[in-house]
Structure 1
Amino acid sequence: MSTAQERTLAQYHGLMHANASAHLLRVGREVGLIDELRKGQKTAEQLTESLQWSPHSASLLIDALLTIGFIEKYGDDYALSRAGHLLCQYDEDLGDATWMRLAEVVRGGDPRSQHDDQKQFDYLAATQWAHTGAAMQAAEILDIGEGGEFSGAKILDFGCGSGVWSCAIAHRDPESSVTAVDGVAALEAAKATAESIGLGERFQTIEGNPLDAAIPADTFDLVLVAQRISCLDGETAKKWLAKAAASAKSGGRVVVIDPFRGPAKPNLAECVEALRIDLGTRGGRMRSLDEAQADMHGAGLQRIQFTFLAASQVNLGLAVGTKAAG
């Protein structure tokens, strides 16, 4: 068998296993296994008694879920893995409500004008914890605190979500302060994040839609716009960037963190995020690096620099622009 044939067979089996793994998760939910294990560890006998299933077939299902890391075994007990708990906590239906709409969206039968942007914002806020590693890396790249070039920064988190990005930066620099702007639910989550790392009075909030909120102009050393621009249509995105730039002081920096189209062939993470944006927003889309740079220049920002965040699992990049001296 040639190398090309072996590669084709490996790809075939990989696709079949990926499809089977997705079905395993869904069957685990449908038969009640996931709900039972969310309550706590259970033996096989306890699961059979609770779920009234076929012990033989159930054992095969459990073995398969063990191999993909969704559940774990401790002695005679089975439990959801940490990843399994996280998946169920933030995607209780395993994403089905979103992905089941894809065919209709592709056919044009689900107009994007009817999509609810707030649901996408809520989802991003609820899952922002997953980007903690990338947020810490962003703080390092921005050279804030710990002997870096910048310290004592006044940070504006413009559309903060759960505040993971700004809190990671502030945690690195004990002299910095954060002002977070967003709706009520997001601010509650952001306050919890700030409290969990002891920011105390260094963390302040402004409640409201960031575009309408009263934010002081020419005030902040660093204005952070994380995971928002890709959710917005072109005109709204420009308004966000213009207000973010207006809030920065002369020589201050505006930082945009978002999934971006890379220069190379897109990988699966990039394609999935682009589809998720299409499914979840009225006019959002994943920008190319050239588009992002043009939008930031249009907001009056200069010396645009860009890097992808290696710690990100979903193709997030970081674009930094400097506000011209007045």
Structure 2
Amino acid sequence: MSNQDRTLDHYQELMTINATSHILRAARQIGLFDQLAEGQKTLEMLSEGLKIPEAKILMLIQSLTAVGIIERYQEDYALSSTARLLCQYDADLGDSTWNGLVEALQSDPDATDGETSDSSATSDSSATLDSNETAALESAITPELQTRFDAIAATQWVHTPAAMQVCEILNLGAGTTDDEASTTQSDSNNSESSATESEPIELLDFGCGSAVWSCAMAFREPAMRVTAIDNQAALEAATATATSIGLTDRFETRVGDVPGTTLPEATYDIVVIAQRLHAFGPSQIKEILDTVTTSLKPGGRLIVIDSFRGPHQPMLAESLEMLRMQVQTNEGEVPELPVAEQRMKDAGYEDVQFTFIAASRIGLGMMIGKKR
């Protein structure tokens, strides 16, 4: 294929992407998705319901069928599984986020910094006056940021393959080696050894969303017990996740949020912060890291699963996540790896390690540090 052919193919691809976005919006605006959400319908039924001629509806349906949004069953048409997900979780096709992109790009960083500083001062004052965590929380979690967290909680199940890969990276549930098995067999009558082996692993999922990441870990590691902290709506989703895979006896919840929640000291073996830390500014990230460091036992591990900026050229999904962060947060950004690593070290962690999660659809990575 010549360079000219590749250029023409790329041009056509971009134009097709743009056209597809328009037909999706047209279908939503005229009510086609609403009609099909009620159940399968014929072309005649759709034409009558939408008050649009059959020939015109058919042209739109044929395009939507070609991109996998509508499926045909003899004379009936129905929404595909993908379309049902769109209707359930992203009915506006993400427009509520992306319509704010231009404003986010053109916003004055200095003005934002000033507003953030005032907000932080208000939070500190409220905490001093009445020690009310809610007051601090209100200054940290803006409506836009809460919308982001709600969307993550609602759709976090899509990261299940990535969560299982994380378990493999962490070697959870891998069992014992041959040497360990031999030692265990020879000491089978040693009750003290048995007690040690059965000692639970306490994991805190701080800002859990629907708890896909922590539930995958507990599913793979029978000795693990999970404490999940988030708002009430997220905890309902998290509880449903835990129940669906039989973790009810090893899963408990607590209403709170990140930042703004006080944690018990030296209680947890592992703390997981997934898809939340980098939505905040540097001062709030430091506050969160200091809080979880205090809650970890000596030698405990902090696992941060989030977007990171590596040395490679970012793929489209990674670039879109960077832009989405700009629109949905005041100070959040995808950090470069050295910056994220230094934050961990400054918070009291050593042996900091990082890996990109290959199974992630949006280019998430995992950074792990051990408390000194």
Identify the TM-score tier after normalising by the shorter chain.
over 0.9
Letter in 2 for 1:144: L
Answer yes or no: is the 8 Å Cα contact 1:156–1:222 preserved in 2: yes
Kindly provide the CA deviation profile for residues 158-213 of structure 1, in whole angstroms up to 9, marking residues without a partner as x: 11111111111111122211001112221122111111111112101121234333
Answer yes or no: is the 8 Å Cα contact 2:205–2:229 preserved in 1: yes
1:141 to 164, 169, 172: 169
Answer yes or no: is the 8 Å Cα contact 1:154–1:222 preserved in 2: yes
Aligned position for 1:319: 367
Shift of 1:109: 8.0
Q: Cα distance 1:100–1:212, how it changes in 2: closer, same or farther (>3 A)?
A: closer
Letter in 2 for 1:62: I
Shift of 1:115: 6.3
The count of aligned residue pairs is 323
Secondary structure of the residue that 2:338 maps to in structure 1? helix
Structure 2 residues not aligned, in runs of 5+: 116-141, 178-196
Q: Aligned equivalents of 2:280 and 2:31: distance in 1? A: 38
Answer yes or no: is the 8 Å Cα contact 1:233–1:283 preserved in 2: yes
Shift of 1:16: 0.3
Aligned position for 1:300: 348
Cα RMSD for the two superposed structures: 2.0
Secondary structure of the residue that 1:180 maps to in structure 2? strand
Q: Cα distance 1:74–1:147, how it changes in 2: closer, same or farther (>3 A)?
A: farther
Q: Aligned equivalents of 1:99 and 1:323: distance in 2? A: 39
Q: Aligned equivalents of 1:154 and 1:168: distance in 2? A: 14
Q: Aligned equivalents of 1:228 and 1:139: distance in 2? A: 19
Aligned position for 1:99: 98
Secondary structure of the residue that 1:84 maps to in structure 2? helix
Larger proportion of helix? 2
Q: Aligned equivalents of 1:271 and 1:115: distance in 2? A: 24
Greater mean alpha carbon deviation, residues 14-23 or residues 142-151: 142-151
Secondary structure of the residue that 1:264 maps to in structure 2? coil
Shift of 1:148: 6.6
* Structure 2 residue 217 is the aligned partner of structure 1 residue 169: yes
Secondary structure of the residue that 2:88 maps to in structure 1? helix
Mapping of residues 189-208 of structure 1, within 5 Å: 189-208=237-256
Aligned position for 1:28: 27
What TM-score, normalized to structure 1? 0.94
* Structure 2 residue 309 is the aligned partner of structure 1 residue 281: no
Aligned position for 2:4: 5
* Structure 2 residue 183 is the aligned partner of structure 1 residue 184: no
Q: Aligned equivalents of 2:14 and 2:303: distance in 1? A: 38
Kindly provide the CA deviation profile for residues 73-118 of structure 1, in whole angstroms up to 9, marking residues without a partner as x: 1222211111111122111111111111212222328976676321
Answer yes or no: is the 8 Å Cα contact 2:273–2:305 preserved in 1: yes
1:116 to 127, 144, 166: 144
* Structure 2 residue 271 is the aligned partner of structure 1 residue 272: no
Answer yes or no: is the 8 Å Cα contact 2:209–2:234 preserved in 1: yes
Q: Aligned equivalents of 1:148 and 1:64: distance in 2? A: 54
Shift of 1:47: 0.9
The higher radius of gyration belongs to: 2
Q: Aligned equivalents of 1:34 and 1:130: distance in 2? A: 22
2:305 to 245, 249, 257: 257
* Structure 2 residue 162 is the aligned partner of structure 1 residue 127: no
Identity within the alignment, %? 47
Q: Aligned equivalents of 1:107 and 1:225: distance in 2? A: 30
Q: Aligned equivalents of 1:107 and 1:213: distance in 2? A: 34
Secondary structure of the residue that 2:37 maps to in structure 1? helix
Secondary structure of the residue that 2:209 maps to in structure 1? coil
